[in-house]
Structure 1
Amino acid sequence: MDRGVDSQAVDIVPEEREEGELPAGRWSALRRTWRTRRQRLVLAALSILLLPYLLIFVYLVGFIHPVSTLMLRDLVLLRGYDREWVAFDDIAPVLVQSVMMSEDGQFCAHNGVDWMQMRGVVEDALDGEQTRGASTIPMQTVKNLYLWNGRSFIRKGMELPLAVVADLVWSKRRMMEIYLNVAEWGDGIYGIEAAARHHFGVSAAKLSRRQAALLAVALPNPIDRNAGKPGRGLRRLASVIERRAGRSGGYITCLYD
């Protein structure tokens, strides 16, 4: 008698797959790997975005002396830089007055962003007109510390909330102290102490009203504008700022008693 086919025995035939196709288990492993990498990239991006906000609180501590992204660039390029930190009380008031009148006359009044000026810039841009500057000292400070130069909507979008938070966390004196110690005043020249000594051979505490005005008007373009060797246009701008600084008493109440 023939044995026949055992009804309980089932031959398992491997599932056929096209040449080059990965097994299902391998696909699952790859998907998990990609998902893990995406999560890590998202976490890394969030960490980079949040780091400046953390540093804002770190820089509350007075003995910590922040450096700018341009200073870090010079270090990476092995060029070095000249910067000597100086406390706010060791900076001539005429310099502070001149910088405020040149860069941000409403420094004591706004919360990091001059929203009226900003609205005007947006309206001009929408109308196709040439836009004017609306960057406040807090905006310039966070840009110098954390961001990059050049006009960019992305940079501006990052700059605005950073400026508001920094203005909320730091005192106005601390804000001005940091700004004046990281601002660029020439190739490799950072901070008011190095600038005063480089351009005029005096300390920041000994600057005259004229010297202070020249340094203030050089800030928007410190590479092309030489405060120590000013051209006619720069001298004319300095004269305007010198007069404004002399009448700035009501604008600087948040910095001096």
Structure 2
Amino acid sequence: MAKKAKQARKTGNTPRRVRPVRWLLRQCLRIGGLAVGLILAMVVVYAGLNPPTTHTIWSEGRRLGGVDRSWVEIDRVAPVMLRSVVAAEDANFCNHWGFDMSAIRAAIADGAARGGSTISQQVVKNVYLWQDRSWLRKLLEAGMTPLVEAVWSKRRILEVYLNVAEFDEGVFGVEAAARHYFDTGPDRLTARQAALLAAVLPSPKRRDAANPTAAVSRRARSIQDGAATIAADGRAACFEN
């Protein structure tokens, strides 16, 4: 046996030792690299290609037997609608890289009673992920949001958001919402109508833009004022032509 082992060493046929830890680390790095590449590819693709559906739209379609949705280019949406959504959901949209730290700190100070998610984070969650509040989803959202901000323009982020957001049960996107609530096109929305649509976004299944409660109506007036403010102070510059 010793003679055979000696001959094997001489001929270069010494059996390789298997190192499980090193092999496992190599496999993890390979899988991690593939995952990062896949995520980056998905972000790049949707920078120009409109998402055909989302997990939420798909699941609601199955539950309801169909949804009301029609994609509309951002150039065919009234500018006041863009400003209203930003004023309502993410007033510092033009000034952050995906995370609004002041909003996050305010949410923590309020004991998480209010949301701190930016429009960019909501787009990542709606387009690529799911709605459950799990640590895995939050981790993926935190990793993908800066990528979307780096690859997409702010105007593109807002365009996708307006087309995948839910405005009523089974009603997705501003095109369907404008016709559903006001029997008009998204390009003809008034400042009041745009503010009302933006006001229902946090709770689309419980709020009605066409027949708003007193609270929703007050919220809409605040949003309308906010939209005028961000137009005047330049905070709408990143998404307006």
TM-score, normalization: structure 2? 0.80
1:236 aligns with 2:218: yes
Which structure 2 segments of 5+ residues have no match?
1-22
Matched with 1:59 is 46
Shift of 1:51: 4.4
Matched with 1:31 is none
Shift of 1:74: 3.1
Matched with 2:54 is 68
1:144-167 deviation per Cα after TM superposition (whole angstroms, max 9, x unaligned): 112222433332222122111101
Matched with 2:239 is 255
In structure 2, distance between residues paired with 1:68 and 1:226? 23
1:98 to 73, 79, 84: 84
1:171 aligns with 2:145: no
1:158-201 deviation per Cα after TM superposition (whole angstroms, max 9, x unaligned): 21221111011001111110000000011111000000000100
For residue 152 of structure 2, what is the amino acid of its counterpart?
A: W
In structure 2, distance between residues paired with 1:108 and 1:226? 29
Matched with 1:118 is 104
Q: 3-state DSSP class of the match of 1:199?
A: helix
In structure 2, distance between residues paired with 1:66 and 1:175? 15
Q: Sort the Cα spacing of 1:75 and 1:92 in 2 relative to 1 into closer, same or farther, 3 A.
A: same
1:147 to 110, 129, 136: 129
In structure 2, distance between residues paired with 1:147 and 1:70? 9
Q: Sort the Cα spacing of 1:114 and 1:70 in 2 relative to 1 into closer, same or farther, 3 A.
A: same
Shift of 1:50: 6.2
Larger Rg: 1
Q: 3-state DSSP class of the match of 1:159?
A: helix
Shift of 1:132: 2.5
In structure 1, distance between residues paired with 2:39 and 2:225? 37
Matched with 2:16 is none
**Percent identity over the alignment?**
39
RMSD of aligned Cα (Å): 2.6
In structure 1, distance between residues paired with 2:147 and 2:112? 29
Matched with 1:8 is none
Q: What is the correspondence of 1:220-231 to structure 2 with a 5 Å cutoff? A: 220-231=202-213
Shift of 1:65: 3.8
Shift of 1:76: 4.2
Q: 3-state DSSP class of the match of 2:93?
A: coil
Matched with 1:30 is none
